[in-house]
Structure 1
Amino acid sequence: MIQKINSSMFIGHGPIKVLYPGSAVSNTDTGIGSIGRIDHPEINSNTVIKMHPHINDEILSYFRTGEAEHSDSEGFVKIIGRKTLMLMKAGRSFFHEEKIMGQQETMEGLQIFIRPQKKDLDPEVVFLELDSLHSENSWRLIGSPNPETKFQFSSQTWIYDMKLLSGSTSEVLEFPKKNLTALLYVFQGSVQVNDIIALNKKECIVFKDEPVLIKASEDAELVLFFTDEQAEIYKDGMYSGNQI
């Protein structure tokens, strides 16, 4: 099974476009397993996203251009963006604010809302300093449920990224465990999947038990998700939860 999700599935008229990936494949859940929601912001510099709450969400801030000053109710103040990623585990309650910095560069990236395994876990903020902005032609692990991963999700969730250079090909990784569902998201550029499916920016495919070969039509930045739809998750998070 391979199902394409077009960019038309995004909602929102402002600088933040919102995708509920389950809406394209289900009538009962706006998420797919632990993948609750994917935001693709393109925010102008010198913008302030004022202090606001999250409850029972695990939010990965994955910004590729621009920088922001992050501050939160746990007392952290830090510049995030580019090689500095952030995972906010909201748990019972969590507040944060972002001040987009710079004079010209738009801050673009993803905010990925992962469903926690259980309700009301302790809040936590974790930062990850990448060795390089991109991992060219090789999948890089960003987060997983495993304790040796700095970004550790409470649910059965894995996230990888890669920059696939123009003309290059790559297979999707061997799934981390059996019976997982995968989602391949194109953050930038365009690719061909199995020579039959064209994916452009803000498009993705959902698949399971299928061989997937990707060829870059141009330089493409890709994000790959795996989730166990049968594992325990909490579906009533403030943003990650089921919206139906």
Structure 2
Amino acid sequence: MNPILHKNTSRGLADHGWLVSRHTFSFANYYDPQRTNFGLLRVINDDIVKPTMGFGTHPHENMEIVSIPLSGSLRHQDSMGNKHIIAAGEVQIMSAGSGLTHSEYNNSDQEDVNFLQIWVFPKKKDIEPRYGQLRFESVDRINRFQTLVSPIRSDNTIWINQDAWFAMADIQAGKEIRYEKQMKGNGVYLFLIEGDVAVNDFFLKRRDGLGIEKGDTIKVLAETDAQLLVIEVPMT
């Protein structure tokens, strides 16, 4: 598979007033047969939710669901008994497994919350549902990749029921860093949160995405200060 470039402006758009969501891959009423997934990465939704509004209680099963607040905070409640606030700087995961219900609301009555909702197909189906949440210090990702999500159980990362890794880097203008693939045969999807970067022979701007299957090392050069999310997943 050749590298796949998804420009910011090519994403699907759902504007419900209380929610503005941009979809990298087909989701809800947005469908593009060429953009249903990248390997086992199924969804990247870039959601902005108005104050006090949110997603009412709804079900999921057999999906790994990762939420990354970029600004503001979310109020979470689920059928496992969890009640938490998830703020920018934290990462949340739900292994939906055999089934759960949950709700997510903007925790503020004054400011929007912007968060990424990312779905990955699970390695094992019908496991007992599981919740995880962890804070990450931004100083630990300056000009280097900070692992957020991993299939290896650790106190320093969030566990995922898949051979997948999520990593983030805050790269200063002019700096070059490299991402080394964790598992042979995996693909890597790069989602540029902020800034401008050059990745191999591609130039990415804010909210562009790039899927790369071949090669074990990816070079990233920051043209401006940038924040980059990398999602490494099995391709089958």
Q: In the alignment, residue 183 of structure 2 is paired with which amino acid?
A: K
The question of 1:65 aligning with 2:91 is answered no
Query: 8 Å contact 1:144–1:158 — kept in the other structure?
Result: yes
Normalised by the size of structure 2, how large is the TM-score?
A: 0.86
Q: 1:74 aligns with which of 64, 69, 80?
A: 80
**Which residue of the partner structure matches residue 106 of structure 2?**
100
Structure 1 residue runs without a partner (length 5+): 231-244
Hey, what's the Cα distance between the residues in 1 that align with 2:141 and 2:51? 26
Q: Alpha carbons of 1:184 and 1:88: their partners in 2 closer, same or farther (altered >3 Å)? A: same
**Which residue of the partner structure matches residue 13 of structure 1?**
14
Q: How far off its partner does 1:162 sit?
A: 0.8
Q: 1:222 aligns with which of 184, 209, 228?
A: 228
**Which residue of the partner structure matches residue 157 of structure 1?**
164
- After superposition, give the CA deviation of every residue in 1:126-165 in whole Å (9 maximum; x if it has no partner): 1112234772111000111112364222221111011112
**Which residue of the partner structure matches residue 208 of structure 1?**
213
Hey, what's the Cα distance between the residues in 1 that align with 2:54 and 2:232? 32
Query: 8 Å contact 1:58–1:87 — kept in the other structure?
Result: yes
Question: Matched residue of 1:212: which SS?
Answer: strand
Hey, what's the Cα distance between the residues in 2 that align with 1:4 and 1:213? 16
Identity of aligned residues (%): 23
Question: Matched residue of 2:36: which SS?
Answer: coil
Hey, what's the Cα distance between the residues in 1 that align with 2:123 and 2:84? 27
Q: In the alignment, residue 75 of structure 2 is paired with which amino acid?
A: E
Query: 8 Å contact 2:85–2:107 — kept in the other structure?
Result: no
**Which residue of the partner structure matches residue 35 of structure 1?**
41
Query: 8 Å contact 2:70–2:88 — kept in the other structure?
Result: yes
Q: How far off its partner does 1:2 sit?
A: 2.6
Normalised by the size of structure 1, how large is the TM-score?
A: 0.83
Q: In the alignment, residue 153 of structure 1 is paired with which amino acid?
A: I
Query: 8 Å contact 1:82–1:133 — kept in the other structure?
Result: no
Query: 8 Å contact 1:83–1:133 — kept in the other structure?
Result: no
Q: Alpha carbons of 1:198 and 1:132: their partners in 2 closer, same or farther (altered >3 Å)? A: closer
Q: In the alignment, residue 134 of structure 2 is paired with which amino acid?
A: L
Query: 8 Å contact 1:34–1:156 — kept in the other structure?
Result: no
- After superposition, give the CA deviation of every residue in 1:157-191 in whole Å (9 maximum; x if it has no partner): 111011112222212x2211212211111012221
- After superposition, give the CA deviation of every residue in 1:53-96 in whole Å (9 maximum; x if it has no partner): 11111111111210121111111111102122210111121111
Q: In the alignment, residue 10 of structure 1 is paired with which amino acid?
A: R
Q: Which moved more, 1:142-151 or 1:162-171?
A: 142-151
Q: In the alignment, residue 12 of structure 2 is paired with which amino acid?
A: I
Structure 2 residue runs without a partner (length 5+): none
Richer in strand (by share): 2
Hey, what's the Cα distance between the residues in 2 that align with 1:63 and 1:134? 18
Hey, what's the Cα distance between the residues in 1 that align with 2:97 and 2:10? 28
The question of 1:119 aligning with 2:120 is answered no
Q: Alpha carbons of 1:203 and 1:67: their partners in 2 closer, same or farther (altered >3 Å)? A: same
Q: How far off its partner does 1:208 sit?
A: 2.8
Hey, what's the Cα distance between the residues in 1 that align with 2:234 and 2:103? 31
Q: Which moved more, 1:207-216 or 1:112-121?
A: 207-216
Q: In the alignment, residue 204 of structure 1 is paired with which amino acid?
A: G
Q: 1:170 aligns with which of 152, 168, 177?
A: 177
Hey, what's the Cα distance between the residues in 2 that align with 1:200 and 1:147? 34
Hey, what's the Cα distance between the residues in 2 that align with 1:61 and 1:96? 13
Q: In the alignment, residue 23 of structure 2 is paired with which amino acid?
A: V
Question: Matched residue of 1:20: which SS?
Answer: coil
Q: How far off its partner does 1:102 sit?
A: 2.4
